[in-house]
Amino acid sequence: MLRAGIFLDVENLVRCGGWGIRFRAVRQLVEAQGAIVVRANAYMAADRRRELEDPEYRIKKAEYRDAVRREGFHLCLREVRRYEDEEGHSHTRADLDLDLAVDAMLQAENLDYLLIGSGDGNLVRLVQGLQSRGRRVDLLSFANTSARLRCEVDNHFSGFLYPGILPEERDDVERLRGVMHHVIEDKGFGFLTVQTGLGASECRDDVFLHINDFEKDDGLPPSNEEFAAMKRRHTIIEFDLVKQEHGKFKAVEACEFVPPAW
């Protein structure tokens, strides 16, 4: 069995649509790949000054960190640094990607498999370095994922597509999400892959989608070119699933999935 390590840039994940991420489900995702988790790090920013000034904020942060610890993650905290830009606006920064990269390279000595949680393109060289040492490197991310990073890793897991990674707080929980893996542009149809579980083989790729069953924001169907571009862009498509008379499945009332704001 593979010895696995998890390295999550929590701030990046949350900022890019992973608000409410279920840390236990992330461990289960790794275990579903045939691995045993021997190292799990969660990299988080710590605004000590604000915590001293705001007791309510301090309590909220302490409770959140305790919850992450209970899921078996070691917290790697980096205190935020404040700076002003040329226009005098105040910003904070924590550089969690650097801490993550250093720890991953050092701890990879005793690991076969690493799951990186981030969409930051700065981690491409880390992935390449780990792979050159014979390690399998997978990626978990949400929105705003670097295209180069997604292509460099061995497998990319979109947190929006894998069941249980995010809490379901919608009224329409029966709606599914998937990505188009095959498209016939001139005929205006394609097929979707839908993840049904956390394992690599727990998916179905036979869901038919016709261009007339997809609706853009303006209420109109896309052009054939726009429809085909969704495959190239890895667009997440949300839809209702209908079983047809001949036993095959079709996506209806489909639209582009838009991550909720937080």
Query: Is pLDDT above 70 for 262?
Result: no
Taken in order 160, 165, 168, 173, is the CA torsion positive or negative?
A: positive
Q: Among the residues of 179-249, which ranges form H helices?
A: 224-232
Mean pLDDT across the chain = 92
Query: Is pLDDT above 80 for 173?
Result: no
DSSP secondary structure code for residue 130 in this structure: H
60-94 pLDDT tens trace: 999 999 999 999 999 999 998 766 656 655 556 66
**Which CATH code for domain 176-256?**
2.40.50.140
Within the chain, all domains assigned CATH 2.40.50.140 are found at: 176-256
Q: What is the pLDDT of residue 83?
A: 64
Measured between alpha carbons, how far is 98 from 81 in angstroms, rounded to an integer? 14
Measured between alpha carbons, how far is 188 from 37 in angstroms, rounded to an integer? 44
For residue 23, the Cα-to-chain-centroid distance in whole angstroms is 12
Residue with tokens 């924001």: 217
Within the chain, all domains assigned CATH 3.40.50.1010 are found at: 2-158
Instruction: Say what the pTM is.
Output: 0.89
Q: What is the pLDDT of residue 90?
A: 56
Measured between alpha carbons, how far is 145 from 86 in angstroms, rounded to an integer? 28
Strands in the chain per DSSP E:
2-9, 35-46, 74-79, 81-84, 90-93, 113-117, 136-141, 155-158, 176-184, 189-195, 203-210, 236-243, 249-256
Tell me the helix, strand and coil percentages in the chain, rounded to 5: 30, 35, 35
Q: What is the pLDDT of residue 138?
A: 98
32-55 pLDDT tens trace: 999 999 999 999 999 999 999 999
Q: Does domain 2-158 have CATH number 3.40.50.1010?
A: yes
Q: Please list, in sequence order, all residues whose beta carbon lies within 8 angstroms of the beta carbon of residue 93, skipping any fewer than 6 positions away.
A: 80, 81, 83
Secondary element (H or E) of residue 126: helix 124-132
Query: Is pLDDT above 80 for 217?
Result: yes
